[in-house]
Each structure stands twice: as structure tokens, then as C-alpha cells.
Structure 1
Amino acid sequence: MSRNREYSLRFYEYLCQKIGSEEDVKARRITSTVCDIGNRSFKLIRSGSNGEGLYLKGSDLDIMVIYSNCTVYEYNSEIPVINKTIPLVMDTEDTQPCFTKLRIVRGHSLSYIAEVVLHTDHKGEVFSSKLFKETELDRLSTKYEFFYKIHGPCMADINNQLDLAICFKCDKWISHSEPWIKRSREKWPSADVISKIISCGVLFVPIGSKGSINEHIEWRLSFSVAEKFLIFSFNHAQLLCYALLKIFLREIVDKDKCLKGLLCSYFIKTVMFWILEESDPSIWRPDNIIPCFQACLHRLLYCVENDILLHYFIPENNLFYLRFNKINRNKLCKLLQISYQHGVQFLFSAETLNCYPNCPFEINQSLIGNARLVNEIHGTLSCGIYVGEENIYMLLRTLLHRSRSAMSAAIFTFFLSRAHQTVPHCSLIPRGSNIQSYLKLKNIISHLLVGLHSDAVTGWIMLASFFYEQKYYFTSLYIINHTLLKCTDEKIQLDPSFVKRSLNWNQINALNMVTNENLITSLKTLTMNILHFGERSLIIPTELQLEVQKDAYIIYPTPYAHFLGFLCCYHLSDYSSCNHFMHQLLQDFENILIIKIETDAFVLCHIPKCIAIAYQMLGETKKATFWLQVAWR
């Protein structure tokens, strides 16, 4: 083997450890897909790096929600006679390629669409993309405080960690992108991938062409689903080159204040698509990854120098049209030229890759086997997506018919267990008939018992909460004490923070100890989900019922277990044990503040609320008032 090929292979192995191996990426993608399947009353699609199976420093979570009450059609003639959704028709008159107006069809009911999002022009009424975003932001920010601003076509949170785009869908592949299907190409993408892409249609996101007089009423065509299929068809060398380009953009180009924002991830993705379509797939090998990356960098330099980057599906749209001025283009070209001349060594100034020069010959793998997969699933779940009870059968059907690997089956089983935990939240126990009540109780307990397999702790606490509400205080207390023994330092906390936390040494050692176990056993033994009580939950304690009247209730398992233990002891008049659990609850809050866990305020505030309720029950009103004030800070 030549020295260059050997160096490429070593660098590839390092990237597999640093960015993710094929197995790591597969685990992330399956988990992400299950999260999408497991959502409730709307179709949700993860896009961006998270949806692609890449966890890169600084990446946010991009989510697209398809607005199911409206359907887009290219022509009026395509609208069916019987239509359960409101039809919108594309109008590309006076719009740039990749943009359209969405026209309201006369004679169809608009009862549930606020008049405020409609705009009247010389041809009738159209949906205003600007007003639609503003209306949706008002609606979402009322219910979820973390939605804070509009960011392009999305609603974003205050920390820029979540972008949510609400979009419309056309179920057919539109004529504007028809030439892409028959375009001359090498071997990529395959006919099978093209067929899948065509079947998924096109999305429309609320943003107009910058500078257009109709910008406020235009919508951009989005091929996010198609792009996800294309990226899923990358081999691992191609995916790693794509990841390297994203790291180069985020950690080198964007570090220069004059260049920040000039390029974006979508441009990087488009460059990759063109290169792969035009190149021989056989060159994309682990032992050739450095020359491949150099080719990508050279192509990007060419595009910037010539102010041209054609949209992959609709080439009439030049993404670099009027993108640069002379000064910033020259500066960007100079940086790209220097990077190209230095090769991958220039990448080692990036934070993600700066350790490579110190360990090129011996790559440290702190996690091995299933331990790595558990860590990857932990990373995906840190994005705060919950599985709804309505989709248990969908998850089960997918598990039975589409899970072809042990990893896939384990991940689906893990999520199925989580889904079963949610059913009892909305299960009313009928009064009057003892037989009906008994059967319903039996059904609820069966769901909770299946839910025990989702992690080491949460299922048990849900079961304890149910028994508490049924006034089986001794049973609940027994389960609580059993569960608290499992709340140890090596458990991996799965929470709704959008930041993936680093593992501590105890967690790494514990994971490696179970590396020979099957994946579902590892997940069940070493993970600890956050507790999530649905809106109007029927198994949350009576003392917390007000908290779930309008929204879900989310809290860490250990403080909740201590609060539930306090409630059980209070009703059993065991005030000595009440004081013990109270002390533990106070300690929980103090520990969270000391170690400065990155968490959302709406999760953290529930702990002082529990403390306030406990003090109020003990008759210590002043302390209760103080802790309520802490909760609202």
C-alpha cells in the first residue's frame, strides 16, 4: 500500500472514531426515524445534521412539520372532486425559480384558517408566508415559551438550538424538477433512490425570494425529504467528506467575522450532490478519502470564484447569484485556496479535529461495541422528541415488517416500551361496574409493565405514581425505594435538552462492562429517561393535577421519586420519613445547581414547585411561599 493511501486510511479510521462509524450513523438514523414515526397528530421530519445521522459541534435541531389541513397542487385540474383538505394551487407567475405563490381556490371552506394570513392580489387570494410565520410564532410561543423568534422559514428558540419549519406538501413531483429525473449522470443516484424521491413529492416552506417585491407572499420549494434520501445513499467515505466540509465551514470559515454567514450547510450539501453525480463512485473509498476531500474543496473554490452554484433539482436557480461582493468573495477565495494548498492539515485548526496530530497512529476508542450504540441513541434522544400513544401500533407494525437487523429491532423495541408508558395518562377508570374497573386497571398495569423495559428507572416511577393515585401507598413506597437504588451515577440521563452531554468515566466504564450484552439489555440497564406526564395525565398525583391542565409536565426522575415518597409517607402519617424525603428533595435541587446541568427552565422549575407543595402540606407557609418564588424566577 502506498504511503498516501495508508495516510488516508488512518485518517478515515480517526474520522470514524471522531464523527461516527457506519454502525454509529445507522443507530442515529434509526433512532431519528423512530422519533419521527412516534410523533402524534402531525407528520414530522428531522432534517439537517441530526436527521442525516451526523452530530457535529454547534449543530442545531431542524424539524419540519407538515401542515396536514392543506394540500398543494401544481394545477387546478389535479384537485380531486372530494377533498378532505384545503387545496392550494401553485402560481409561479413573476416568481424566481424555486419559489411560488400558493393561491386559495375559490369555493373551498377556510373556516379554520385565520383571515390574517391571507393576502389579496389582482388574481384573488394567496397565502402570505410572512403572516403565516408570524401567526404560527404567536401560537407556539403562547404554549411553548422557548419559541422566541423567526429565523428564515423557521421558528427558533432563544438559544438557536431548535429550528421548526411548518410547511405544506404537494404529493406529486412537480414539473419544474422533472428534468432532474432524466438528467445524464454517472451511477449516482441509483434508479431505486430516484424512484423513492419522486414518490415523496415536494414541500413548501414560508420564505420568499430575497429582494422580490412579492417576498412576503412567496413560498420556497423544499426538497428536504429528497435530500435526506440522497444523503442516506452516501457510502461512509462520502458521508465523512460531507461532514468534513461542514466542519470546515462552521469551525474555520465562520470563525472569520467578515465571512460568517456567507456560506451555509445547504451550499455544502449542494456541492456534494453535484460532485457525486458527476464522479465515478469507485473513487470514494476509505484509502482515498483525502484526495476526495481535496476535490470537494476545489469544487467549492471554483463555485465561489465564478459566483455560480446551481440548485441541484432546479438548476435555473443559481444559489450564488448576488451572494458575494468583491471584497468578501476575494477573502473567501483566498481562504479556500490556502486550505486547498495545505490539504487536510489545515483542518486540524478546527476544534473538532485538533487532536489528530497528537494521535495519528493510535486511535483511542473509549467506547466499544454496543456501548457506542447506546451513546449514539443517547445523543439522538437528547433532542426532546416524545413518542405518542396513538402510534404504538404504527411502531409495532414497523418493528414486525421492516426491522431487518438486531439493532433496528432493539431500537424499535426500546421506543415501543416508552410509548406504552404514555397510555395510562389518558386512561379513565370507569366507575360503578367492578368488572369494568378491574379490566381497565389490569389493562393500565399491563401497559406500565411493558414500559418497565424502556430504561432502568422511569417505568418503575410511573408504576409507583399509578399506585399512589389508586391509594396503594405501601406498594408505591416499596417501588419508590427499589427505584431509588437504581438512580446511580453511571446511569445515562436522557432529557429534553438540545445539547448532548459528555459521558463521565463511571458511565463509560459501565457501558464497556455491558458491551457483550444485547443492545436492548444495555439500554434498559444503563439509561434513565426524564419523566414526561401528558396534558391532563391521570396518573400524576392529585397534588400536581393543576400542573397538567394546559400542558405536559416534565421533571427529572430522582427528585420526582423523592417527592412521591414524601406524599406516600404523609398519607401514612410517617412524618419522620417525610422529613427524610424532604431533605433528599432539597439536596436534589442543590446538586443540580452545583453541577450546573444545562437544562431548560421549564424542567428545572418543577423541583422547587414540588418543594413548595411539600412545605404547604406540612403547614410551613413561609417556606412554601419562598420556594414558589424560586420556581418563578
Structure 2
Amino acid sequence: MSRDPDYYQTVSLKLSEVLNDIGVNERMILKRRRMYLLWETMETSTYRLLGTNMSLYRFGSQSEGSTTIGLRSDNDTLVCQSESNVIQDWSQWQPGKLNVLMIQDETTSPGYCLLQWLRNDEPLPLPIHHIPNSKLTVSRGKVLLKNTLLREIAAIEGRVINGPAASRQGRPGIADQDHVLAFHCKSWPAEAQPWLEKQGIGRWPTEDMKRYCETTGCFVVPVSSKNGQNEELEWRISTSHAQRCLMFSLNITKLRCYILMKMILKTFINPQCDGVLSSFMCKTVLFHCIQNTNSNNWVQSNLLPCLMCCLTVLQNFVRQENCPHFVIPENNLMAGRISPHNKVRVFEILQKIIQSKGRALLEIPFDDLGTRLQLKINMGEAFQYHGTPAQMFAEISSLLLYNIISDISRNHKLLLESMHDGNEMVYKRLSDFTLTLTRMYRAMGFNSLEKSAVRLLTPLLPSSLGSVIASHDIYTTGSISPEALDWFSVGLNSDVSSGGLKLASALYCVGDMERAEFVLRNTEEKYDLNTTEPVCACYDHPVNYPRPGFMHKCNTGNEEVIKHITAFCVRFLRCEICCVPKELQYEMFRSTQEERLERDEISDFWMDWAVVDSLPYLYFLQYKTYGALHRMADQQCALANLVTSIETEQTLTHRETALNLLGQCMEQENQHIDALRCYMISLNIRARSNAANFLICRLIYVLFNMQEPAPN
């Protein structure tokens, strides 16, 4: 094959086809970017609603679209504290703010700084005898902010420190999540000022891009350089916003080249060389190559030569042990990272890959890239062992949309967490949230990303508000007010089922069985078992492979399809107790005092609510409603459906609650042994903080009294 005069062009085109087939194409990249930008906008909006002045950013490969399913890239979240005013010049000081001055001197490494704490009443340094907390220390006559504050937060939350990031790891089926705490500086880094004037052969970045990058300022993140003299005091200067701008400007060939570099890194280099190189180094190499080559080179038919060019530059950087940061070239990304042994080993591996003229790519296992390329070169499309492009696109789309849906559930949980048990307080908070989101929505541009984020965040709140009002109505008057019904009506289209089930639950509790049955029948009609995906973010759990109908809908649309294909779990706060059947009320009191002390305060607060998956709750409410209407055949059908849903539905997050409801149905059927079996299975799923512990005791008491001989 290498004797073919068009060898490089032929392999480049086949390689481009393979990357297209695994989802590295314009359509899927744009979808990735939109979903991750939407994700970060939703999270930031939620924290702003809660009064927390933070901004969240999803930087990295996922939001850039520079990854594949097989690469399993981390979810990188930068959490920016917006209350602080990080400045580089005294003229930027602001009264009443937490002012912090970036300092660079002979002790700081290029691309790093110290943060000096300033007074908030006048532009002067904080006196060294006045240190308000343990996050500060005195060094060289200045009050400096330590970079170890992230460790304190991570220790509380059970995270692992990984460089500047606190990571949640070791959860099967869930991607690792890195959270980086940062402060934002509105001004462009002084060290990066020369970059704005530099121009290469490729005339990239353009002047417009540079002007935009300058407006994004920079972040400072809590990590020191490898060779720094101030391990606990140095902060790294990050230009993540500018990096995102640069990545978003790349054409498909440049992105494919970067992804191939990462695959090579993970296949050949890092497993043998202690992970000495990073994907950020590959990105930096790519940027340098684009800047210093003619833009006409970066076309699909030239992908392999472009890749070889990048690998050659990377090899030169390894030889020199210097990978200059693209924006701040004095910052050597390889400083202190490569041992003499690994330097030789990495150089040799890169040399072999370059000399192979692309044959080494056949050994890449990620996304079956090597196998796919072999088939493209030798057999065309005649035979395939792996997923078709359509299947790959559907899988990517469903994973992206599932993340958005999970975040809607997670943000709804966070908003409910801020509530207190008092009905009036919850009513006010929910009303304020809903009205604030409505005002935000009306003030935004017609097609803005922020508008889409608010449109996704809002629908679950009206059902909660309607239920809070209805619970108070039922307690005081025994009926449901028009105001409550209006809010229920607004929330009916939040998703396939949860809004309808909250309304049906309230109607059942007030004794309006005919209307409850009508709502339940409509909900069941909308709930397509082949398409609707149950989603719950009450706690972290492995994500099963979505059903085909769900994947198809995700592939053909964006976030607008969510309300037609999603079944959120149904959540009731304690102040909604009058809208909750007595069988489900037990879930609000599942924890003993001892169990409450052992719970994770950050993640387990939902255990004080009644929470149930939509599908089993639909069938449970039907069972109770049909029983009240004396429609016994329909009641038994609902019971059979409840059993089937628990046994066959893989994506039930609150399966133990569904089993507890089923057990109580079995008790009503006088099938006490089956009821006991349900409770025991429930305990096998969740041994502690489970209402089954009480239900078993109650059932044993009933059985014991049934067996007592009648008195003479």
C-alpha cells in the first residue's frame, strides 16, 4: 500500500471516514457543544437562584466536542467564585469587595502567581497582624491566600485531589467528574500580552479571535508548578475561556487530528511511560502546528500528514523537554514531568509511530478505530464487526441528552433542598423561584442558550408548588383550590409522567377518584415503554444502556424532545404530606435517629422526602384508585403491571420504595407472605434508612395477632 503514490491521501480519506463513523463529524460535535454549554448554563442559573454567587463552566474535551465514546473523557467542571475581585493592577480595586491582587516575582514560575489579600475599605494591603482565617498566611511581608483551601472542601465532600481538581471516582458506570475551584480575573494576563501581537504563517488565531480572547480575562486555580518554590501559595493562571474560543474555531480535520493524538497517547505512550504526557500537551502541540502551517493544509485528504506533523512537533518538544504553553510560552508544560528514562522511551515510541506511516493506527483499540480502518482500506463497507454510524450517532446523542435530563432532575433536587418544612416558607420559595425564572425567560433573547436553559429548569417547579398548595388546602378545607389546580396544570407537560402523577396523587388523596383515574389513564397513554426513559438524580447510580426508542428520539432532536421521552421520579416534601397516600408517607420517616446521624448530609437529604419512580407509582395509584372505584378487574391488572415493572424495569432508582408499595398492596390482598418477601427484597437493596424496617415489624405484629386463639 505504501508504494501507492496517493498513499497518504488514500489513508487520510479512509481515516476521515472512520472518524466520521464514530461520531467525529460536524453534526455530532455541534450537538456535544450545545449540550454541554446548556448543561453549564442550567447549573449556573440554579446556583444563582439559590443565592450562591458562583458560575460553573464545563471546560475540556466533552464541551469542545474533541472526544469519542471510547476515550471516556472526564467531565471537567470549573467552579468560579464570583464574589472575589481578582486584580492585576491597583486601579482595578473595588470598595466592599473581596479584593485579591495577583503577584508575580522572581519566586513564581511563568504562568503562575501569588494572591495577596487586600483590604475592602481602601486600596491597601491587609495588615500582616490581621489574618481573619486559616486560608491565609503571611509570607515576605504580605498576607497571601493559600492554594490548599480546595483540599479542605474535598475532604468534607469525600473527593480525591488530582492536581487542581477534586474528583469523584470509583463509581461503576459513571464517568469521573473533576471539579476545579477557581477565581476569575476580568483582565487579560500580563504575561500573555505578547501573544495578542504574535502572528504565524497560518494567520491563526485571527485578530477578531484575539480581541475576543482578551475580553475573557483569565482564571486562577489552586495548584503550584512542579518546580515552584511556593508549593502552598502558587496559583496557576488559566486561559480556559480563550482555549475554548480557539477550539471552537477549528475545522473538522484539526479536531480529528487532536483526537487521534489523544488516542495515540492513551494507546502507546502513557501506559508505558507513567502517564508523563497529557492531552493538554497534545492540544498545545496542535495549536502551535496550526499557527505555523498554511491553513490550506488542514483538509480531510491531508489528515495523515497533518497528524505526522503534530507528532513530529511533539517529539521535538520531548527532546527539548519544553512544551511552551500556547498563550504564555514561558510556561513550560513539561517542566519537571519527564524523567531521563521516560524521555528516551517516549521519543522512541513517537519515532516508531511516525516511521510507520500510519500503520500504527491499526493498533488503536478505542472505538474500534484500528479495526474500522483496516476494513475501510481492505474491504470497504463489505463487512463490519461493530456498530454502524447510525448506531454510534444515536448512542452519543442519547448519552448527551441523558446528561441534560439528569441535570434537570439534579437541579430540581437542589432547589427543593433549600426548602424548609414550613408550608408558608416552601410556598414562598417555590413561588419566588418560579416567578424569577419566568422573568428571566421573558428578558432573554429569542434563541439564546440561556432561554433554553430556563425553559428546561422551570417545568418541574409548578407541580411542586401546586402540590404544596393542595396539601394545605386538603388539610384545612378537605378540597383542592383553583390556584393549586392551575399550578398543577402548568406542570403537566414537564415530562411524560411526574407532573400528571403529582396531580393524580392529590386527587386520590382528596377522594376525587373519577378525575384521578382520568389523569392516570392519560399518563399511561403518554408513557411509551419502548421510548420513555426513567431519570432520577437523587443519588449517583450506574446508567444503563438507554432503550432504542429513546435513543432514536435523542438522535433526531435536541433538548426539545425531553418532555416527550422522559419520566422523572416523583418527589414529595413533608409539607406535601396530605397529597401523599398513606402507603408512601412511610418513606418520609424512613430513618431512625441513629441512621440520620450516619447519613451523608450533602447527598442524602432526599431521604426525608417521599420519592418514587414514575412507572411503579403510576401502577400503584391505579391499583388504589380502581379499588376505590370497585373496578376489580382493572385493579388486578394494575397490580400485575406493578409487579412486572419492578421485575423488568432496569432503570429504577427507588426500587426499594416500589417494593414497599407493592408489599402494602399484597397486604391489602391478604397475601402476607408475598408482602414479607417484598419487604425483605427491599432491605437487600437498601438495608438502612428504609421504611421496610418498620413495615416488616408492623406486618409481623399483624400476623402474630391473626394467629392468636380467640378468647373464650
Return the TM-score normalized by structure 2. 0.72
Aligned residue identity for 1:440:
E
Correspondence list, 1:97-176, <5 A = 97-107=110-120, 115-130=133-148, 132-139=149-156, 141=157, 147-159=158-170, 161-176=176-191
- Shift, 1:184, TM fit: 2.4
In 2: Cα distance, 1:366 partner to 1:167 partner: 39
Give a deviation string over 1:49-99, Cα, whole Å, max 9, x none: 111123342211111111123231123331123x4x422221223221122
Letter in 2 for 1:325: S
Q: Is the Cα contact below 8 Å between 1:31 and 1:377 reproduced in 2?
A: yes
Compared CA separation, residues 239 and 438, structure 1 to 2 (3 A): same
Cα deviation for residue 451 of structure 1 reads: 2.0
Q: Which residue of 2 aligns with 1:400?
A: 446
- What's 1:441 paired with? 484
- Residue ranges of structure 1 left out of the alignment (5+ in a row): 142-146, 598-602
1:193 aligns with 2:241: no
Deviation at 1:37, TM superposition (A): 1.4
Distance apart, 1:137 and its partner CA: 1.8
Partner of 1:144: none
2:285–2:310 Cα contact (<8 Å) kept: yes
Aligned to 2:415: none
Matched, 1:27 2:42: no
> 1:424 corresponds to which residue?
463
**Equivalent in the alignment of 1:381:** 404
Q: In the alignment, does 2:593 pair up with 1:559?
A: no
Contact 2:659–2:679 (8 Å) recurs in 1: no
Amino-acid identity (%): 20
Pairing partner for 1:489 from 523, 530, 541:
530
Greater shift, 606-615 or 236-245, is seen at 606-615
AA aligned to 1:378 is L
User: Residues 467 and 25 from structure 1, CA distance in 2 versus in 1: closer, same or farther, beyond 3 angstroms?
Assistant: farther
Q: Secondary structure at the match of 2:134?
A: helix
Q: Tell me the distance in 1 between the aligned counterparts of 2:197 and 2:405.
A: 41
> What is the CA deviation profile of residues 512-549 of structure 1, one whole-angstrom value per residue up to 9, with x for unaligned ones?
9x96xx76776555x32543749778598472556899
Aligned amino acid, residue 348 of structure 2: K
Please state how far the C-alpha of 1:622 moved relative to its aligned partner: 5.7
Q: 1:102: Cα distance to partner?
A: 1.9
Provide the C-alpha distance between the structure 2 equivalents of 1:336 and 1:378, rounded to a whole number of angstroms: 37
SS of the aligned residue for 2:458 comes to: helix
Change (3 A) 1:310 1:374: closer
**Deviation for aligned residue 1:15:** 0.8
Summarize the Cα distance change of 1:345–1:69 in structure 2 as closer, same or farther, 3 Å threshold: same
How far apart are residue 461 of structure 1 and its match? 4.2
Q: What is residue 267 of structure 2 aligned with on the other side?
A: 251
Contact 2:460-2:491 within 8 A present in 1 as well: yes
Alignment match, 2:375? 358
Q: Give RMSD over aligned pairs.
A: 4.1
Greater Cα offset, 284-293 or 1-10: 1-10
**Is 1:55 matched up with 2:94?**
no
SS at match of 1:150: strand
CA distance in 2, matches of 1:187, 1:121: 44
Q: Which structure 2 residues correspond to residues 477-556 of structure 1 after superposition, within 5 A?
A: 477-485=517-525, 486-491=527-532, 502=545, 525=564, 527-531=565-569, 533=571, 541=580, 543=585, 544-545=587-588, 550-551=605-606, 556=613
Match of 2:58 among 33, 46, 49: 46
Distance 1:114 1:267, change over 3 A: farther
Distance in 2 (alpha carbons) for counterparts of 1:498 and 1:294: 41
CA contact (8 A) 1:172 1:201 kept: yes
Matched, 1:210 2:236: no
2:82 to 54, 68, 76: 68
- What do residues 599-627 of structure 1 show as CA deviations (whole Å, max 9, x unaligned)? xxxx73x3213433664685879667633
Deviation at 1:165, TM superposition (A): 1.3
Partner of 2:418: none
Q: Alpha-carbon deviations, 1:9-46, whole Å to 9, x = none?
A: 23212211213320111112112111221121131111
- Normalised by the length of structure 1, the TM-score is 0.81
Instruction: Kindly state the Cα deviation for residue 359 of structure 1 after the two structures are TM-superposed.
Output: 3.8
Number of equivalences: 595
Q: Distance in 2 between matches of 1:308 and 1:532?
A: 55
Q: What corresponds to 1:631 in structure 2?
A: 686
Asked whether 1:11 is paired with 2:15, we answer yes
Match of 1:367, SS state, is helix
Q: Distance in 1 between matches of 2:138 and 2:121?
A: 16
Q: Which residue of 2 aligns with 1:609?
A: 657
Structure 2: distance between partners of 1:572 and 1:122: 80
Amino acid at match of 2:145: F
Residues 608 and 630 in structure 1, CA contact (< 8 A), matched pair in contact too: yes
2:159 and 2:632 map into 1 onto residues whose CA distance is 44
Contact between 1:49 and 1:55, CA under 8 Å: does it hold in 2?
Answer: no
Residue range with higher mean Cα deviation, 218-227 or 549-558: 549-558
Letter in 1 for 2:390: L
Cα distance, 1:582 vs structure 2? 5.9
Cα shift at 1:302: 1.3
Residue 159 of structure 2: SS of its match in structure 1?
strand
Q: CA 1:114 to 1:180, structure 2 compared with 1: closer, same or farther past 3 Å?
A: same
- AA partner of residue 208 (structure 1): S
One-letter code aligned to 1:31? M
Q: Distance in 1 between matches of 2:35 and 2:402?
A: 10
Quick check: 1:28–1:380 contact (8 Å CA) kept in 2?
A: no
Q: Contact 2:137–2:143 at 8 Å: present in 1 too?
A: yes
| Structure-to-structure mapping, 1:293-332, within 5 angstroms | 293-332=307-346
**Deviation of 1:170 (Å):** 0.9
1:96 aligns with 109
User: 2:685 is matched by which residue type in structure 1?
Assistant: V
Provide closer, same or farther for how the CA distance between residues 44 and 218 of structure 1 changes in structure 2, counting only shifts above 3 A.
same
Deviations 1:270-309 (A, max 9, x none): 1111111222222111221121111111111111122110
The CA deviation at 1:449 is 3.5
Cα distance, 1:232 vs. partner?
0.7
Q: Cα deviations across residues 146-200 of structure 1 (Å, max 9, x unaligned)?
A: x532222122113261111121111121212211111223321122222222222
Q: Which amino acid aligns with 1:447?
A: V
| Displacement of 1:570 | 7.5
**1:573 Cα deviation (Å)?**
8.6
Aligned residues of 2:61 and 2:73 also touching (Cα < 8 A): yes
Q: Deviations over 1:440-473 (max 9, x none)?
A: 3254134313424xxx445544554565576655
What is the letter of the counterpart of residue 102 of structure 1?
L
Residues 103 and 384 of structure 1: is their aligned pair in 2 closer, same or farther, counting only changes over 3 Å?
same
* Counterpart-to-counterpart distance in 2, 1:46 and 1:498: 21
Q: 2:437, 2:9 → 1: CA distance?
A: 48
Letter matched to residue 162 of structure 1: Q
- C-alpha contact 1:72 1:90 (8 A) present in aligned 2: yes
